[in-house]
Amino acid sequence: MKFNLKNERVKKAVENLIGDYGFALASDGVETYVNFIEEKVVKIDYRDKILTVSVFAPSHALWALKEFSDLFSDAPDKDFNKKYTPRFEDLTYMLDCSRNAVYKIQTVKEVISQIAISGYTSFMLYTEDTFKVNDYPYFGYLRNPYTEEDIKSIDDYAKSLGIELIPCIQTLGHFNSVTRYPSMDSLFDIGEILLVGEEETYKFIEAMISFCAKSFTSRRINIGMDEAYLLGRGRYLDKNGYKKHFEIMKQHLDRVYAICCKYGFKPMMWSDMFFSLAINWKYDNVETLTDLVPEGIELIYWDYYHTYKEHYEEMLKKHSVFKNKISFATGAWKWLGFTPDNRYSFKVIEESAKACTENSVNHYIVTGWGDNGAETSCFATMPSVYYAGYINFNDYNRGKKFQKGFKNFSGVSLNDFLTVDLANRITDHDDVDEKNSANKYLLFNDLLLGTLDTIIEKGQGDLYKKHVKRLQKAEPKTGKWAYLFNTQKALCKVLAIKAEMGVKLRESYKNNDKNALNLILKDLKKLYNLIEVFYRTFMAQWNKEARPNGFDVQDLRFGALKQRIVIATEKLSDYLSGKTSSIPELSEDLLCFMGHGKDYEKDLDQCEYRWLRMSSVNVNY
């Protein structure tokens, strides 16, 4: 679709877009005018071969061009007038750049291009210690941190597309990467939580906020403050005696809020510390907390885990007792290892968006976390991120209109793109609540210890062979995104052999089935080579999208995985040749991973994604 744009600002935005979204600029294209209006709607008027677009948010102009091109392809000779009222005045995508994958500037810009086309208005760059702060050389040390110049480059690009780039940092917890340094030690209370009430702490926080003030043009900031459940239970307790969590939070929040105001920032924060600490991590009796949060702070209720609207509605109503603006954050699931879960993301986005719409929440955030290594590509959840933008202007149906729009947007059919999820599918069912991290725990589950063997069902290896065939069929049709599917195909080839190998190895050993053990020995040698192929493919994906530091963790994990396969091969070979009389690890009886002793639970909703917990039960910290 070609456009002859008469608005220079929007014309420049289209020129700056990274990627092909089904339309382009041309002097012989549709004559197009863009008006900026105060009414919070988007209007698309096409008559006499002239297109007029009216929007209140600059980025909506790009969405409107994309929408028009989709509509025009259906009825090129038909005039039409469309009016859209977005569900949310502010639609944000948040990208985690702190869990080892510090994304290249070009990668971040491409993500911003995608959300601009999808109808988003803002973008949060989540950085715990992955930005450089004056006077704190160990903050971000060896982590490939963003500099002021990096952020300004991203900020300028976002502005050119009408996207507000919002700093998203931490000012209380989640500082695990810097607690190792003696020069930073005095800043901490317990674990990764800052020591509240100390001037040195607020000097450090001001340095972070000052960096944000110099680097970002937005004067909104997410100050974090989530999941600090041990607040006040370490050095703070020694210095000040016991105080209630809420009293400590109030003291700290007032100081951080004052620093934000000093730099002209309007802060927002995750709401869980006020809710989950209320009564044993239950959302209850929040009326007693309403005076603890300064009214100028926006509270973000985050919840990625429920597939029914009623739950979100109940939580939003409890939040409504606060005097603060309440926003909501859902998830595009990319934090379960190497593989996304778009199917589950669709459902949580749909149900939470319905609740937010009915409860007048006007700021909706889609998060892309990268817990425990950020192995999943930041582009792998493209269908989910696109869907949240789609439902901002349309109904929730993921039928023909949505599928066509996604194909024009990504260049890949929805059905083909969703094969990127397959490594997390361990049954032939299509039950949305069967979310799991099988892609990761089946890979790193130790063959000799069998930590997770008790939850593994028969037939999973054969299912992964089917997954490989589906990915092979889809991959040639995935264009520039083929590298994502190549990674998933290589992973599924590994899991086709490894998924049940530990179970079969232990069973064959206990039954003294030498024929079966000899077949497993041959498969172990194949497995080693397939893991090397997957490792190389995954590394290529990482190097395409992210800066190099952080991949060292993957080197360590894959190195351990391959070495354990070497050891398993040696022990099995020695046993079969008669060099040894037993394999002690395989003689042990396993207990249920879910804690039920000998009563094994075959958990189809297993989301364990932490490498330490799945790779061994022994001390490794």
Domain limits, the chain: 2-84, 90-410, 418-615
Residue 278 has pLDDT above 70, yes or no: no
* Of the candidates 435, 488, 492, the residue with the CA atom closest to the CA atom of residue 461: 492
Residue 292 has pLDDT above 90, yes or no: no
Predicted confidence at residue 323, as pLDDT, reads: 86
Of 280-289, 334-343, 391-400, 544-553, least confident by mean pLDDT is 280-289
2-84 CATH: 3.30.160.230
Residue 256 has pLDDT above 50, yes or no: yes
In whole numbers, what is the pLDDT of the chain averaged over residues? 95
CA 336 to chain centre: 9
Q: Is 167 left (phi over 0), alpha (psi -120 to 50) or beta?
A: beta
One CATH from 2.30.30.140, 1.10.10.10, 3.40.1480.10, 1.20.120.670 for 418-615: 1.20.120.670
Q: Which long-range contacts (CB under 8 A, 24 or more apart) does 610-615 make?
A: 610/372, 611/372, 611/373, 611/440, 611/444, 611/557, 613/451, 614/440, 614/441, 614/444, 614/445, 614/451, 614/452, 615/444, 615/445, 615/446, 615/451, 615/557, 615/560, 615/561
Predicted confidence at residue 307, as pLDDT, reads: 95
Chain segment 341-358, per-residue pLDDT in tens: 999 999 999 999 999 999
Residue 277 has pLDDT above 70, yes or no: no
The better pLDDT of the pair 541, 277 is held by: 541
Predicted confidence at residue 223, as pLDDT, reads: 98
Predicted confidence at residue 281, as pLDDT, reads: 42
Q: How many CB atoms lie within 10 A of CB 484?
A: 24
Task: Quickly list DSSP for 193-227.
Answer: EE-TT-HHHHHHHHHHHHHHHHH-S--EEE----S
Q: Is 361 helix (H, G, I), strand (E, B) or coil?
A: coil
Helices 148-160, 105-117: inter-axial angle, 10-degree rounding: 20
Predicted confidence at residue 302, as pLDDT, reads: 96
Chain segment 170-208, per-residue pLDDT in tens: 999 999 999 999 999 999 999 999 999 999 999 999 999
Residue whose tokens read 């999820």: 421
Predicted confidence at residue 285, as pLDDT, reads: 58
Predicted confidence at residue 280, as pLDDT, reads: 43
Residue 284 has pLDDT above 60, yes or no: no
Q: Which residues pair with 44 in a beta bridge?
A: 53, 82
Residue 283 has pLDDT above 50, yes or no: no
Q: In the chain, what percentage of residues exceed pLDDT 70?
A: 97
* Pairing, β 42-47 against β 80-84: antiparallel
Residue 588 has pLDDT above 50, yes or no: yes
Q: How far apart are CA 135 and CA 200, in angstroms?
A: 12
Please report, for residues 21, 43, 77, 462, the alpha-carbon distance to residue 338 in angstroms, rounded to integers and kept in the order given: 26, 40, 46, 20
Tell me if 2-84 shares its fold with 90-410.
no
Chain segment 128-137, per-residue pLDDT in tens: 999 999 999 9
pLDDT band at residue 621 under the 50/70/90 scheme: confident
pLDDT band at residue 293 under the 50/70/90 scheme: confident
The better pLDDT of the pair 23, 202 is held by: 202
Predicted confidence at residue 76, as pLDDT, reads: 84
Instruction: Please state the rounded mean pLDDT for residues 407-424.
Output: 97
One CATH from 3.30.420.40, 3.20.20.80, 3.20.20.70, 3.40.50.720 for 90-410: 3.20.20.80
Instruction: Please state the rounded mean pLDDT for residues 260-272.
Output: 96
Q: Is 135 left (phi over 0), alpha (psi -120 to 50) or beta?
A: left
Chain segment 311-342, per-residue pLDDT in tens: 999 999 988 888 899 999 999 999 999 999 99
Predicted confidence at residue 327, as pLDDT, reads: 97
Residue whose tokens read 């990268």: 370
pLDDT band at residue 582 under the 50/70/90 scheme: very high
Q: How far apart are CA 38 and CA 58, in angstroms?
A: 11
Instruction: Please state the rounded mean pLDDT for residues 353-379.
Output: 97
